[in-house]
Chain A
Amino acid sequence: MTSPAPSPSRGAPAPGLGRPIVDARGLWKRYGPLAVLKGVDLSVAERELVFIIGPSGSGKSTLLRCLNRLEEPDDGSIHVDGIELLSPRTDINAARRRIGMVFQSFNLYPHMTARQNVMLALRKVLRQDRAQAEAVAARALERVGLAERMDHFPAQLSGGQQQRVAIARAIALEPRVMLFDEPTSALDPELVGGVLNVMRELRQDGMTMVVVSHEMAFARAAADRVVFMADGEKLEEGPPAQIFGEPRHERTRAFIRQIDRH
């Protein structure tokens, strides 16, 4: 493992974790007159699992999507694994293969089988030959418990299985960090567990993860740090015990009370 680097002043990762993999500073994003991100900092250490919570419209998805430049911030800087993401000289496609993303709506390619979904970027981005890509895809699908379903099309899979294929598609590229945007929100309750189990295993394998989700029990059990966002700002952050147990801000307290009631 790499030696821990001095952590930045704001948005610092929890102590005892590796060097920062994601380091975003002063992110601004506006849609017309509406400022959705107002100078947000976020630093994520190697192997850290950061949970982002907050009310609807607070900018959680926007923040996450800035981290692989699906959304272009108006101001600020983002480093991922040492790459300056917002620099015009950066090859964004090369950078993105180090940043896996999982979406609320799975977004599997419906015209391809599970295995083909995973293989596409292996073949076209990593330029692996067919045999190698097939083997890598098979291993990734095994990791998410879908070895038996490799040749199924997305429509032949349950929502939970589809989301696990989407996770396999991302991890097959061996990203340095995984971004999850409400990965279980579109799932029937009985299918949530399977996806969370896969995420738990990823974490045990040392994957760096940023997760936007309302799964508070999972956050309590698995997160290193919880970030609470409101109105485009990071209102507070800390270990789950602190954020859920003794939040400093009234808004955080109100939000957690409201979520826990459900």
Chain B
Amino acid sequence: MGGFENFLFSFFNLKVMATYLPLIAQGLGLTIVLALLIVVSGLALGLGLAMLRACGIRPLNWLIIFTVDLFRALPPLVIIVLLFFGLPAMGLGMSSFAATWLSLTLVLMAFAEEIYWAGITAVPKGQWEAARSTGLGFFQTLRLVVLPQALRITIPPLTNRTIAITKGTALGSVVGVAEILGASQSAMSFSANPSPLTLGAIAYLVLFIPVVALGRWVETRFAWKR
């Protein structure tokens, strides 16, 4: 066999691919579920923390900043391993799926909080003053006047960060989650051929190209004339 044929046999082995397609499709499904759970809970928690921080209660803000810095500093894999192998030692067992979900949720929460917070502080003080002077309360002003403006400028960095972190679902393979990478690796060892990895890569593209496109679409939708 020549080098090119060798390459085709190793990475584009159609027979192997056909055999393990269902397994990797399952992995894709699991990745989607995991990613959606992480995105929803991470972004919601991050927004919640940023709104809490906007209240300006000193000790609470220190706690928020500490938490956020902690989860931004730790490598996500370390958090996953700590939760999966560390917590059972403390009598708090957790499935590999739950450990991966919680870890990446906390990481996304931390990064998202910082992005939301930057967005909130970028809204001019005059917007708060104008709204409050008409009798709107603090939370009404935050929700109706400040957040819509803050969210708009946060969408590009938030989209990038969200994509980066949801790609971290691949880390779940380390603790045995059968998401795309985990499924591909299993398939690779069953078949003794790396073609399933190609399938896995394609599965990631199928998943994330639409996400990137969605990010773009949301970006234009939220734009208003300045």
Contact = CB atoms under 8 A, between A and B. Distances in A.
A binds B: yes
Interface of A: 68, 70, 93-97, 99-101, 103, 105, 107-111, 120-121, 124-125, 153, 155-156, 166, 169-170, 173
Interface stretch (B9-17, B36-44, B106-114, B129-137): B129-137
Nearest to A113: B224
Contact of A96 (B135, B144, B152, B224): B135
B145 interface: yes
A84 to B, nearest CB: 17
A96 B137 contact: no
Contact of B134 (A97, A105, A156): A97
B176 interface: no
Contact of B136 (A68, A101, A103, A120): A120
B135 A109 contact: no
Given A105-B124, A124-B144, A173-B135, 7 more contacts: A95-B135, A96-B134, A96-B135, A101-B130, A109-B145, A109-B149, A121-B136
A67 B64 CA distance: 35
A100 B134 CA distance: 7
A99 B129 CA distance: 13
Contacts of A68: 133
B136 A110 contact: no
Contact of B133 (A94, A101, A120, A155): A101
B126 interface: yes
Contacts of B137: 93
Interface residues of B, number: 21
Interface in B80-127: 124, 126-127
Contacts of A96: 132-135
A166 B130 contact: yes
Contact of A97 (B126, B135, B140, B148): B135
A155 B224 CA distance: 9
Contact of A153 (B127, B132, B145, B224): B224
Contacts of A125: 134-136
Contacts of B124: 105, 107
Contacts of B144: 120, 124
Contact of B129 (A93, A103, A121): A103
Interface in B211-226: 224-226
